[in-house]
Amino acid sequence: MARGGLITIEGIDGVGKTTLAAALATALHERGIDVLALREPGGVTVAERIRGLVMDPELAVDARAEALLYAAARAQLVAERLEPALASGRWVLLDRFVDSSLAYQGAGRGLGLEAVAQINYFATGGLRADRTLLLLLDPASSRARLVDRQPDRLEREGDEFFTRIDAGYRALAAAEPGRIAVLDASQPPAAVLAAALLVLDDVQAALGA
């Protein structure tokens, strides 16, 4: 059986990742693709419990501890859900993956991309996305979209934190243009979905889906 494809969706908070993930899952199902939609951190019991820690606005979490917690949640998700699904031929649509840690902890927290990459290589066993959809929107506009919801621990950080994250994501996209496809998150959701599906056409062809 052919291995499934791993598609990840990335971007700073407020760019529309969750909206795109839901629409894309529906569209891929309509194309006849067996797709499993998951989020990070989460997707399995251990990872969901870790999510409660890293998102809790009442907790003070050291930057290195934060990076390790995300990596631990990711390791469990890979072992328990991602690898079995991919091995069975299913596509996995994942809201955040390693690039989030590179951008948030590597760039945003200043831990460095290389150090965070090493932690996550160990956590994932070297698993990489077949294609990453990076939604880009200037940090001020993305944060303005969050005004109607209760902010989690990371969303309470200042503007400089999100400016560093945005720069980190842009650097990652520049370094890996073959894997990371940049989408304009300022467009209407339908236009973002259409752009995402166009990007995935070659992945679908390569995987024979």
Tens of pLDDT, residues 103-116:
999 999 999 999 99
Percent of the chain at pLDDT above 90? 86
Residue 156 covered by a domain = yes
Is there a contact between 52 and 62 (Cβ–Cβ < 8 Å)? no
The pLDDT, as a whole number, for residue 41 is 97
Average pLDDT across the chain, whole number: 94
- What's the alpha-carbon Rg for the chain, to the nearest Å? 16
Residues 17, 72: Cα–Cα separation, whole Å: 22
What pLDDT was estimated at residue 59? 93
Length in residues, the chain: 209
pLDDT confidence of residue 147: 75
- 76 located within any domain: yes
Residue 165 located in a structural domain: yes
d(CA 80, CA 46): 10
Residue 190 has pLDDT above 90, yes or no: yes
**pLDDT > 70: percent of the chain:** 99
pLDDT (0 to 100) of residue 156: 86
Tell me if 72 is assigned to some domain.
Answer: yes
In a domain, 32, yes or no: yes
Count of domains for the chain: 1
Q: Write the burial class of residue 1 (CB in 10 Å: 0-12 exposed, 13-18 middle, 19+ buried).
A: exposed
Has residue 24 got a pLDDT over 90?
yes
Please answer whether residues 157 and 61 qualify as being in contact, where contact means their C-beta atoms are separated by less than 8 angstroms: no
CA distances to 20, 25, 54 from 184, rounded to whole Å, are 12, 19, 28
Q: Give domain status of residue 149, yes or no.
A: yes
Instruction: Please give the average per-residue pLDDT across 122-134, as a whole number.
Output: 98
* Band of residue 37 on the pLDDT scale cut at 50, 70, 90: very high
- Segment 154-174 mean pLDDT: 94
Asked if 208 and 3 touch (Cβ cutoff 8 Å), the reply is no
Q: Is residue 209 part of a domain?
A: no
Strand order in the sheet with 91-95: 35-39, 91-95, 6-10, 131-136, 180-184
Give alpha helix (H) positions in the chain: 17-30, 45-55, 63-77, 83-87, 98-101, 113-124, 139-144, 159-175, 189-207
- Picking from 108, 10, 123, the residue whose alpha carbon sits closest to that of residue 73 is 123
138 lies in some domain: yes
Note the helical H segments in 61-128: 63-77, 83-87, 98-101, 113-124
Residue 123 is part of which domain span? 6-204
